Copies of this chain bind each other. A is one copy, B any other.
Amino acid sequence: MTPSSTLPPAPPLSPPDRLLCGPGPTNVEPSVLDAMREPMLGHLDPTFHELLLELVEMLRAVYGLEDGVTLPLQATGMSGMETGIMNLVAPGDVVIVGYAGFFGRRIAQMAARHGADVVEVTRDWGEVVPNEALLDALDRRPEARLMAVVHAETSTGAQHPLAELGAALRDRDTLLFADCVTSLGGIPVAFSDWGVDFAYSCTQKALGAPPGMSPIACSGRAFERLQARGHTVPFSFDVELLLDYWVQRPITYHHTAPILHIYALYQALRHTLEEGLAARWARHDDAGRYLQAAIRERGFELLANPDHQLPHLTAVCVPEGVDGPKVQRRLLDEHGIEIGGGLGPDAPPMWRIGLMGPNASIEVADRVLAAFDSVLAGEPTLVRKL
């Protein structure tokens, strides 16, 4: 055979500097990048197992998980969502999904993909589905296995009142399933206090690590149901097998863990707990509220209902006549700043600005605002606003 090595390799990697202020990923905490340069252990090394156990304890603290299990999947937030559904929902089970944005709808689509009987309770983008409407749906379908909402809807910047929903479901048999992709580490999450049964998150937003893992948490009662399930779950996402590998050891081999990403998450969690959760939430709150006030001062409207506005993720409505994607592109090309646009074909025109992890600061907010002003000054239809 002829080796194909006659192909010249691709050019050297030389990505430009970016200030990542979209909906995620955010820039990585410097100490987290340093952690990825520590000597690599084998995944079966006893020292590595100690590290996995420490990591799980830190994750427990960050989720506020008292009774139940937690671990990070080698997966995206989307796979965390799918893992929860596959492990907890059998084909034919009733699942109630409340959504008012892209990611909530994706939960409904994912549940349908796996054969669930999905009841959708929806509101317009930027709103949240009132808990009363969800409870009404449950009264009509009391056999529902799962009630699902997005705690922090990344596509709109709206926050669901999750604590209140958990309180209302306290005596019900239905499990509470929450997307915490954009909330964990940035705003309060109290998994057990609130009565959440399954949650998933990511590493690349408020935790300040690179994308690559999805920390999941599962309540004791949800774990019991998962263990009693009668349907097959893919090997890769079988929570029981993964727990055997991560926690129980000595193990039968499951897979090779993503060691450097685990170092990264370990350090991100350490950094989060050293800062203190309350201080970290306050920092995200301060930076986000500052940005939002400044945006509104400039005459722009925010997409989310003000009663439910997340602090650290802000969706700004693109004014009539302004080319939203062009503004994004100029911010990227001229200022090296990434912000997001609307997600999916039916999203209203918007810019999404995230101040998360190391970027949750007044300084970063000011950099974004200055770049925004500079770019928008060139948009004639906006002169009245600036």
Contacts and interface: CB of A to CB of B under 8 A. Distances in A.
B211 A256 contact: yes
A84 interface: no
B5 A61 contact: yes
13 contacts: A4-B61, A9-B271, A13-B38, A15-B48, A16-B47, A20-B40, A20-B42, A37-B37, A74-B212, A114-B234, A210-B258, A252-B344, A258-B261
B344 A10 contact: no
Interface stretch (A27-35, A122-130, A366-374): A27-35
Given A234-B82, A254-B78, A261-B261, A14 B38 contact: yes
Contacts of A16: 39, 41, 47
A382 interface: no
Given A15-B38, A15-B51, A45 B338 contact: yes
A212 B62 CA distance: 24
Nearest to A79: B236
A269 interface: yes
A86 B234 contact: yes
Contacts of A15: 38-41, 47-48, 51, 263
B64 A10 contact: no
Interface string A272-314: 1110111101000000000000000000000000000000000
Contact of A45 (B114, B202, B269, B332): B332
B211 A5 contact: no
Given A235-B110, A236-B75, A40 B18 contact: yes
B5 A18 contact: no
A375 interface: no
A54 B343 CA distance: 26
A230 interface: no
B25 A42 contact: yes
A11 interface: yes
A258 B35 contact: no
Contact of A4 (B8, B28, B277): B277
Interface string A60-93: 1110100000000011111100100010000000
B273 A5 contact: yes
Contacts of A232: 113-115
A44 B270 CA distance: 29
Nearest to A11: B54
B188 A256 contact: no
A35 B11 CA distance: 13
A77 B255 contact: yes
